Amino acid sequence: MELSWGRRYVAVEPTHFRVEYVINPFMDPDDQPDPALAMAQWRELVATIERHGGTVEALPQREDAPDMVYAMNLGLGLVREDGQSHVVMSHMRYAERRMETSSAQPWFAERGFTTSYVGRDGVGAHLEAGDAFAFGDALVVGYGPRTEELALKHLATELGIRVRGLRITHPGMYHLDLAFCPLDDRRALVCPAALDEASAAALLELVPEPIVLTEEEALTTFCANSIVLGSTVIMPACPDRVRAQLEEWGFTVVVVDVSEFHKGGGSIRCLTNPVDVEIGRDLAVVPGGEVVLPQV
Ligand code: ARG
């Protein structure tokens, strides 16, 4: 069954995108993006999403926040059981990105979203939304390099859902969205090399029909950092083997080049934040919440 979420996106127009500091292995201030090319690539991505039935709402980029273009990390957008749109704002690991959410929060609030922070006003635990995806019966959350394990507990209890944690150990796949992309209710792109042994096994158990990516595929092509609109997969690149399997399953692959954004360590998923995951539809309601961690 097709994913029911992934039609409504929030993104940030890259008016001040640059590589100013190093918080992941891809970033090199000596290799700056071309601003005009980055803008053209971003516009093409937005147009492609719109052509395939999605919507994109753009918030302005703060001048002092060069990484804000990676809108996936602003917060975890959800629709509550009563239909209210809500965003659990991120609490970024690195100070260099923390100001992004103070601009994003009022922007969401003006558009009718309620907002919250995990724990006590966001000082509770680091949470970066690029680590969190609805899949199966739970919110699957990567922790380690960015999101802290404690944030999983907060998410589960505050939202009343099941959270399945996966421990990320690979420095180059510092967000789960670089190693995991849900395709439909049974299928996903997965790169177990991002995770410790128990978590890799848990991920493979969670996904009945995975396309397993090698470490090399995930790191050099960013192909797990893709988005899915129904049967269309919008990808930054697609290895032939992966394309063959996707097409066999009935998906159409659309490649959009966002190479300028790879210089900051992110690709298509990082640039777009789906806010239409519904509690009670895409995420099972679990009163009181529950955290499931891989058995070591
Ligand atoms: N430079 C950004 C950072 O390191 C890239 C974020 C990529 N976004 C993502 N959702 N993986 O925080």
Report whether residue 33 contacts ligand 1, using a CB cutoff of 6 Å: no
Q: How far is CA 219 from CA 174, 178, 213, in A?
A: 11, 8, 10
Question: What's the sign of the alpha-carbon dihedral 85, 91, 92, 93?
Answer: negative
Backbone angles phi, psi at 211, to 5 degrees: -105, 115
Residues spanned by the domain of 188: 8-292
Tell me whether residue 261 is in a domain: yes
Backbone angles phi, psi at 79, to 5 degrees: -110, 120
Report whether residue 271 contacts ligand 1, using a CB cutoff of 6 Å: no
Per DSSP, the three-state class of 201 is helix
pLDDT at 279: 98
Tell me whether residue 230 is in a domain: yes
**Per-residue pLDDT band at 122 (split at 50, 70, 90):** low
pLDDT at 124: 75
Express each pLDDT in 132-188 by its tens digit: 999 998 999 999 999 999 999 999 999 999 999 999 999 999 999 999 999 999 999
Q: Relative to the CA of 92, which ligand 1 atom is closest?
A: 12
**Per-residue pLDDT band at 79 (split at 50, 70, 90):** very high
Averaged pLDDT, 210-232: 97
Looking at residue 173, the DSSP 8-state letter turns out to be -
Closest by alpha carbon to 164, among 152, 174, 175, 151? 152
- Distance from the alpha carbon of residue 202 to the mean position of ligand 1, in angstroms: 24
Burial 107-144 (b: 16+ CB within 10 A, else e): bbeeeebebbbbbeebebbbbbbbbbbbbbebbbbbbb
Q: 252-255 and 273-274 as β-strands: parallel, antiparallel, unpaired?
A: unpaired
Ligand 1 atom 1: residue of nearest CA: 264
Q: Relative to the CA of 23, which ligand 1 atom is closest?
A: 4
Report whether residue 67 contacts ligand 1, using a CB cutoff of 6 Å: yes
Which tokens hold the place of 21? 């500091």
String of DSSP letters for 103-147: HHHHHHHHTT-EEEESTTTT-S--B-GGGEEEETTEEEEEESSSS
Report whether residue 72 contacts ligand 1, using a CB cutoff of 6 Å: yes
Tell me whether residue 1 is in a domain: no
**Per-residue pLDDT band at 121 (split at 50, 70, 90):** low
Report whether residue 270 contacts ligand 1, using a CB cutoff of 6 Å: yes
Which tokens hold the place of 204? 């493979």
Ligand 1 atom 7: residue of nearest CA: 266
Tell me whether residue 181 is in a domain: yes
pLDDT at 119: 82
Number of domains in the chain: 1
Tell me whether residue 252 is in a domain: yes
* Range 39-44, long-range pairs (CB < 8 A, 24+ positions): 39/13, 39/14, 39/15, 41/256, 41/257, 41/258, 41/259, 41/260, 41/261, 42/11, 42/13, 42/14, 42/69, 42/258, 42/261, 42/271, 44/256, 44/257
Q: What percent of the chain has pLDDT over 90?
A: 97
CATH for 65: 3.75.10.10
- Distance from the alpha carbon of residue 237 to the mean position of ligand 1, in angstroms: 18
Report whether residue 177 contacts ligand 1, using a CB cutoff of 6 Å: yes
**Per-residue pLDDT band at 196 (split at 50, 70, 90):** very high
Ligand 1 atom 9: residue of nearest CA: 270
Q: What percent of the chain has pLDDT over 70?
A: 99
Mean pLDDT of the residues in the chain: 97
Tell me whether residue 2 is in a domain: no
Please, are residues 260 and 43 in contact by the beta-carbon 8 Å criterion?
no
**How deeply is 17 buried, as exposed, middle or buried, from its count of CB atoms within 10 A (0-12, 13-18, 19+)?**
buried
Tell me whether residue 237 is in a domain: yes
Q: Relative to the CA of 130, which ligand 1 atom is closest?
A: 10
Tell me whether residue 3 is in a domain: no
Q: Whole-prediction pTM value?
A: 0.97
